[in-house]
A = this chain, B = another copy of it.
């Protein structure tokens, strides 16, 4: 096992990555200043925080809200812990310490921890696999690890260990079968293994994965709703998975955990299943925004190529799950196509879930709407805001990875990282305005006189042509391997690699089997998908705009739109002008229609692109 691990790509953790990026600085600042506080306030207002004090007997009153609400609190703690790594905050930390004190006090003596079933329906403990008890447990573990690493305090982590001991006492090969109704615990257990080195944790996760698809799962909710076992990926043993099915967030978490297992055990059955299901998802079940899950009914997948725009579910959490999964696939395979998907998610389907001001959210991210829905401050089911709360501060996770004498640059986000490579201290400094200009510039600093390593810089999947310079000299004979431009050479301190990716506006077409997009195109520039929105197009109605193959487009930096954005402007067939904005910025002003896939008229042309 250790042998496998040595050849594996290791991500450079976001704690080693400094971000100083024109795009992300604002999002990270708003996250710290607004989002975390907003989430905590909502958790307080909705009784989520008090539930722990109540379960601990420290406060009177009934448990409030859904049976999985504990998880939201854990996720906010995780996000707060991440924020401490760059922005320590003594007041907030003391607030968290108090909250953690309540959480730990709410844990039962046998280790059980789930305030809803502890206090409100204790007779239902471990009675229904759909009850999210382990889902909450998983988030507790992740929060505990984060809080321990950022503060050094292990109170919550001890509770997590105790909780897992409880699981181990209850479940396992010789004990009791269990299909975790909403995956998450598996990820958390593997993370616990990765941090502690204790193999029993990943083995418990592996066992939980292997429980699936064997007729063991029983859940009142998913039977009642008629979703059946596919809903929580319990229809076939996981190594037999061929097609994405069921609830999208659940599926993403499952695939992420399976990828972790491949990293540990090199399980070829898992590996093949993941490769299959990845192709199935990417080729037939992915919205252009990175959204996954086309149906509100099961919050998940239906038929291949069924990708309606107005009724798209595309849960924010599912897009975050796509990043988790694709990040693991990238490290397993060393292929850029997975990092392409991460890029698609972070610039589209994830950020669309949060307002520019950081305190309003979308759980659901359709690609077309006729003006009825607006962002909310909170949801009864608040998984998405709280997932954003922990995801955004960890964005640095996805930028760099290393292996032996190889370095991968997966995302072009300004900032720097420093790491050791065969005894040399290497710093990589990114200076570019990639998302606006298509430029990626990497400076290599080293304390060694000459540092040989293979530098792999992602050639983005959306890009069709690029120019490359080293120290200002244009390069020849460039090669792309597994989606990376490879520079295998001895680097000197101060070397600068500059890549200019051509980043025109593209009119993207969908596969002809995607009926909802027939005769339509989406406008995309680099990884950013655009949409037209009422606020910029008051003279238009939904679906009125028709653009043609001849439509000339402009990229216009409009300082009047949300403080300055790169809009795409042009004229439709009827001469109507239109303005498109990045999809991730929609619904930040008054509600109104929004549309990603715009009607498009082909001309009879001899040559087309």
CB-CB contacts below 8 Å: A460-518 with B: 461, 463-468, 474-480, 483, 485, 502-511, 514
Does A447 sit at the interface, judged by CB under 8 A?
no
Q: Are the CB atoms of B609 and A467 closer together than 8 Å?
A: no
Q: Are the CB atoms of B478 and A569 closer together than 8 Å?
A: yes
Nearest neighbor of A337 in chain B, beta-carbon distance: B550
Does A525 sit at the interface, judged by CB under 8 A?
yes
Does A164 sit at the interface, judged by CB under 8 A?
no
Does A459 sit at the interface, judged by CB under 8 A?
yes
Residue of B467, B505, B525, B607 touching A554 (CB-CB under 8 A) = B467
A474 to B468 alpha-carbon distance, docked (Å) = 27
Q: Are the CB atoms of B607 and A508 closer together than 8 Å?
A: yes
Q: Are the CB atoms of A288 and B511 closer together than 8 Å?
A: no
A522 to B609 alpha-carbon distance, docked (Å) = 10
With A464-B553, A555-B467 as given contacts, are A508 and B476 in contact (CB-CB < 8 Å)?
A: no
Q: Are the CB atoms of A555 and B609 closer together than 8 Å?
A: no
Q: Are the CB atoms of B577 and A286 closer together than 8 Å?
A: no
A510 to B560 alpha-carbon distance, docked (Å) = 41
Does A571 sit at the interface, judged by CB under 8 A?
yes
Nearest neighbor of A558 in chain B, beta-carbon distance: B476
Does A568 sit at the interface, judged by CB under 8 A?
yes
Does A557 sit at the interface, judged by CB under 8 A?
yes
Q: What is the total number of copies of this protein in its complex? A: 2
With A283-B604, A286-B606, A606-B283 as given contacts, are A556 and B506 in contact (CB-CB < 8 Å)?
A: no
Q: Are the CB atoms of B283 and A459 closer together than 8 Å?
A: no
Q: Are the CB atoms of B609 and A466 closer together than 8 Å?
A: no
Does A608 sit at the interface, judged by CB under 8 A?
yes
Q: How far is the CB of A244 from chain B (nearest CB, A)?
A: 13
Residue of B479, B485, B607 touching A510 (CB-CB under 8 A) = B607
Residue of B286, B504, B554, B570 touching A504 (CB-CB under 8 A) = B504
Residues of B within 8 A of A485 (CB): 552
Q: Are the CB atoms of B282 and A609 closer together than 8 Å?
A: no
Best-surrounded residue of A284, A467, A525, A552 (most CB of chain B within 10 A): A552
Q: How far is the CB of A471 from chain B (nearest CB, A)?
A: 15
Q: Are the CB atoms of B571 and A479 closer together than 8 Å?
A: yes
A284 to B477 alpha-carbon distance, docked (Å) = 38
Residues of B within 8 A of A474 (CB): 556-557
What are 8 inter-chain pairs, A to B, with CB distance below 8 A? Answer: A283-B604, A286-B606, A461-B550, A465-B525, A465-B553, A465-B568, A476-B558, A479-B577
A interface list, Cβ under 8 A from B:
282-284, 286, 288, 459, 461, 463-468, 474-480, 483, 485, 502-511, 514, 522, 525, 550, 552-558, 560, 567-571, 577, 604-609
The 9 closest A-B pairs by CB, nearest first: A502-B504, A465-B505, A480-B552, A465-B553, A474-B557, A506-B609, A459-B552, A478-B554, A467-B555
